Amino acid sequence: MDTRKLGFFTLLLCVSTTLVNAEDPYHFFEWKVTYGTMSPLGVPQQVILINDKFPGPVINCTSNNNILVNVFNNLDEPLLLTWNGVQHRKNSWVDGTPGTMCPIQPGTNFTYKFQVKDQIGTYYYFPTTAMHRAAGGIGILQVHSRPLIPVPFDNPADEFAVVLGDWFNKGHKSLKNILDGGKSIGRADGVHINGKSAQVGAAVEPSWTFEAGKIYRFRFCNAGMRTSVNFRFQAHDMKLVEVEGSHIMQNDYMSMDLHVGQCLSVLVAADQPPKDYYLVVSSRFTKQIHSTVAIIRYAGSNIPASHELPPPPVENVPGVAWSINQFRTFKWNLTASAARPNPQGSYHYGQINITRTIKLINSRNYIDGKLRFAFNGVSHIDRPTPLKLSEYFGLADKEFKYNTIPDEPPDDVGKNIQLAPNVLNATYRNFVEIIFENRENTIQSYHLDGYSFFAVAIEPGKWSPEKRKNYNLEDAVSRHNVPVFPGCWAAVMTTLDNAGMWSLRSEMWERFYLGQQLYISVLSPERSLRDEQNLPETQLLCGIVSNLPRPAPYV
Ligand SMILES: *[C@@H]1O[C@H](CO)[C@@H](O)[C@H](O)[C@H]1NC(C)=O
Ligand SMILES: *[C@@H]1O[C@H](CO)[C@@H](O)[C@H](O)[C@H]1NC(C)=O
Ligand SMILES: *[C@@H]1O[C@H](CO)[C@@H](O)[C@H](O)[C@H]1NC(C)=O
Ligand SMILES: *[C@@H]1O[C@H](CO)[C@@H](O)[C@H](O)[C@H]1NC(C)=O
Ligand SMILES: *[C@@H]1O[C@H](CO)[C@@H](O)[C@H](O)[C@H]1NC(C)=O
């Protein structure tokens, strides 16, 4: 079923349910995932398409809508898609990570069903299996505010979804072979904008059209493999209005850094003389700077864009100072009404007592000559049975140990790395502080599924408890990703009120693939429907739970 039919179905459901209860609308999607050929960097190569496209279809919805995506896996390998930043309240069953779901086998289909509960904002989906992310299967998921809830800016004339990122000319299987062989995939070959790249002066079709005098919303996600990017428009400032689901205090920026896994929205006013203008995207913190452009055309004009491009940020401290300063300008708009992802009270998150501090130090090392990445010395390996399922079926003790890593790592952490399923056992509703301390000389980017967290601080050096006095306890942005700059630490806080098995991971995909990830198991002691949805009847089962009778459902 295609989206044109959606209106009809949504209408039908609304009409048929309004008398009973005001059920939230449904959106149905049918996605065919296939290989195809595209040239993101100008070289034809195999990519992963959804309904013949990369980027895949935009999921455009409103808070609390129900989303059903029937995914047909026509690849030659098992596939899972995750919905980065969608919280799946009480429903980690559909989170799409290898620790929560059995993959969709080639030649079969599976329907994801979830609700975008109490969320607004810009997110993206991507494959978590193998190195598929390197080849595509990626797209934007955008959640609008409900009609009666005011948004702190005027309705834009149109909105444009933009997937950005680095790209490798090697295919996903070659990249996986390199990693399986214990080596790094190295640097990317270039950057793309919505699956295309072009250099200044090249004859390319405009990607977007502006009408003079109007305002447009661009939603950007960096869905790349490892590279931070900076983007900027010729002659147009951007007003940053949303970061990963939070309306923020609006500021104007000439250029914006976007680290791997991050999303944000900017407004751009079509207030310049009518002609073509470039959007420029360039890599950050790389020895060789890759850049690409796309064209915005003012309707009715035929004047080509100037070849003079806006410059990338000027660094006065090598690498990162500019980017840290920009991060610190992001403040939550406390008076903007919006669907609040977190429960009541977390608004005043600064007054909640911390019940647990989890400090994570990332490291990179070799085991038997093979490259691995770790948190606190443990490099995660997936089990053939998803952790969530073995836990739910009462077989966790056969499959993995909880809390292999200490909350407080020893000082020589990372000298040695061990391989193990890395699962933290968390107490339901604890208010936790997670510290990421990056002693490596490259930027990191970390993401937590199932939650948004308050990103309260980023500072150089090592973390210690007295650093808490520097936290932003007033208006830190509630988001799902935090960058951790070289030699810096970052602190985030959240209430673990969403029962489930949730991936905490590096968004840099070779690090993820080689173990820099863990799962937080948030078990509600009640095993009750109040706290967690039931295992969906359609859930795929695999590994040791394949043929087991399903446990009694929650009540
Ligand atoms: C996306 O959804 C919003 C809110 O329902 C709607 O106003 C807008 O027209 C939709 N955009 C597209 C491209 O369908
Ligand atoms: C597979 O697709 C068919 C046809 O749309 C649908 O009826 C069926 O429910 C889907 N199966 C799963 C497991 O989602
Ligand atoms: C914050 O939100 C309020 C309420 O919607 C809005 O009026 C105000 O302009 C916003 N402030 C900034 C700086 O974005
Ligand atoms: C937080 O801890 C302090 C000191 O231990 C205590 O006085 C206060 O009541 C606690 N606050 C809350 C909200 O639990
Ligand atoms: C994990 O937490 C649950 C609930 O808080 C508790 O019952 C269980 O004993 C814990 N398991 C381990 C291994 O810590």
The atom of ligand 1 lying closest to the CA of 144 is 4
In which band, very low, low, confident or very high, does the pLDDT at 30 lie, cut at 50, 70 and 90? very high
427 lines ligand 2 (CB under 6 A): no
Cα dihedral 180→183→186→189 (10° resolution): -40
Distance CA 185, CA 361 (A): 22
62 lines ligand 1 (CB under 6 A): yes
Residue 306 has pLDDT above 50, yes or no: yes
Residue 12 has pLDDT above 60, yes or no: no
60 lines ligand 1 (CB under 6 A): yes
> Ligand 3 centre and the CA of 249: distance in Å?
6
Q: Which of 144, 159, 160 to mutate to test the pocket of ligand 1 (most atoms within 8 A of CB)?
A: 144
430 lines ligand 2 (CB under 6 A): no
The residue whose CA is least distant from atom 12 of ligand 1 is 60
How many CB atoms sit inside 10 A of residue 248's CB? 23
Residue 16 has pLDDT above 70, yes or no: no
pLDDT tens-digit readout, 381-411: 999 999 999 999 999 999 999 999 999 998 8
The atom of ligand 2 lying closest to the CA of 109 is 1
How many CB atoms sit inside 10 A of residue 173's CB? 16
Distance CA 310, CA 291 (A): 12
Q: How many CA atoms lie within 13 A of 342 on its CB side?
A: 21
Q: Which pLDDT belongs to residue 474?
A: 94
The residue whose CA is least distant from atom 2 of ligand 2 is 109
Architecture of domain 158-315: Sandwich (2.60)
Residue 253 has pLDDT above 50, yes or no: yes
The atom of ligand 5 lying closest to the CA of 425 is 1
336 lines ligand 3 (CB under 6 A): yes
Q: What is the widest separation between alpha-carbon atoms in the chain?
A: 68
251 lines ligand 3 (CB under 6 A): no
Q: Among all ligands shown, which has an atom nearest to the Cα of 32?
A: 2
Burial class (CB in 10 A: 0-12, 13-18, 19+), 12: exposed
DSSP 396: H
Q: Among all ligands shown, which has an atom nearest to the Cα of 520?
A: 5
Span 468-485, average pLDDT: 96
The residue whose CA is least distant from atom 9 of ligand 3 is 152
Distance CA 362, CA 349 (A): 26
Tell me the three state secondary structure of residue 465.
Answer: helix
335 lines ligand 3 (CB under 6 A): yes
| Percentage of the chain lying above the pLDDT 90 cut | 88
Q: Among all ligands shown, which has an atom nearest to the Cα of 64?
A: 1
pLDDT tens-digit readout, 73-91: 999 999 999 999 999 999 9
> Ligand 2 centre and the CA of 239: distance in Å?
43
Q: Among all ligands shown, which has an atom nearest to the Cα of 108?
A: 2
In which band, very low, low, confident or very high, does the pLDDT at 525 lie, cut at 50, 70 and 90? confident
Helices (H), 477-530: 509-513
How far is the CA of 378 from the CAs of 93, 250, 423, 438, 507, in angstroms? 25, 40, 10, 15, 17
Residue 2 has pLDDT above 60, yes or no: no
Q: What residue spans define the domains of the chain?
A: 3-144, 158-315, 349-543
Residue 477 has pLDDT above 60, yes or no: yes
> Ligand 3 centre and the CA of 108: distance in Å?
47
Architecture of domain 3-144: Sandwich (2.60)
Distance CA 543, CA 482 (A): 34
Burial class (CB in 10 A: 0-12, 13-18, 19+), 333: middle
Q: How many residues does the chain have?
A: 555
By the 8 A CB rule, do 207 and 296 touch? yes
The residue whose CA is least distant from atom 5 of ligand 5 is 427
- Please determine whether the domains at 3-144 and 158-315 fall in the same fold group of CATH: yes
Architecture of domain 349-543: Sandwich (2.60)
